Amino acid sequence: MPHTSNIALIGYRGVGKTSVASLLATRLELDWVDADVEIEQRAGKSISAIFAESGEPVFRNLETQVVSELCQRERTVLALGGGAVLSEENRRCLADCQATVWLQASVETIASRISEDSSSAGRRPNLTNHGGRTEIELLLGEREPIYRACATLVVDTEGKSPAEVADEIVAALGPGCSG
């Protein structure tokens, strides 16, 4: 049984979590927050800089602190980083949300969206030595079972605008989904 009125958006980088979160929050009259932006603000540097200077474990620890705090809010749409579900503590926090929505897209669409996002390259590091499509395929293969286990709702973003995705989530959650 959910303990908060929060709605968490999970999924791989480039599926539209941030864009959909702001629209969904507006439709449901909720607050919204991007966990990656919150991490960068607290660290005073980009995620890429955190990875380069301190390594992924330090980033993941900070991410877990931020996700734990964000999940304690009420009436908030949370856009989580693509790897946030890797932490068991984060998964426990997500279980307390009213809904955890897994946004999906094909490898091709994700690769295209990431390459078209000029801010992404400077802020988000490659997570493997491969980068690009190969990295997406590898990490999606590892993360999909975790996304699936966390999700209370799955929404395919393929060929849809962020507004269409937000509308689909509102319709699927039904009346009273704003807490």
In a domain, 90, yes or no: yes
Structure tokens at 3: 């303990």
Residue-range definition of the domain harbouring residue 42: 7-173
In a domain, 2, yes or no: no
Determine the length of the chain: 179
In a domain, 92, yes or no: yes
| Total domains, the chain | 1
Alpha helices in the chain (DSSP H): 17-28, 35-43, 47-54, 56-71, 88-95, 107-116, 118-123, 132-150, 162-173
What sign has the CA pseudo-torsion 54, 9, 112, 118? negative
Q: State the Cα–Cα distance between residues 41 and 39, nearest whole angstrom.
A: 5
Of residues 147, 141, 138, 125, the one with CA closest to residue 58: 125
Give the per-residue pLDDT at 174: 81
In a domain, 1, yes or no: no
What angle do helix axes 56-71 and 35-43 make, rounded to 10 degrees?
120
86 to each of 41, 64, 130, how far by Cα in Å?
22, 10, 20
Q: How confident is the model at residue 158 (pLDDT cuts 50, 70, 90)?
A: very high
In a domain, 178, yes or no: no
pTM higher than 0.85, yes or no? yes
Structure tokens at 103: 């946004």
In a domain, 72, yes or no: yes
Query: Average pLDDT of 37-66?
Result: 93
Q: State the Cα–Cα distance between residues 133 and 30, nearest whole angstrom.
A: 35
Highest mean pLDDT among 17-21, 112-116, 138-142: 17-21
Q: What CATH number is attached to the domain comprising 74?
A: 3.40.50.300
Give the per-residue pLDDT at 19: 94
Structure tokens at 32: 């919204």
Per residue in 8-46, pLDDT (tens digit) is 999 998 899 999 999 999 999 999 999 999 999 999 999
In a domain, 28, yes or no: yes
The C-alpha angle with vertex 96 and arms to 82 and 45, in degrees rounded to 5, equals: 35
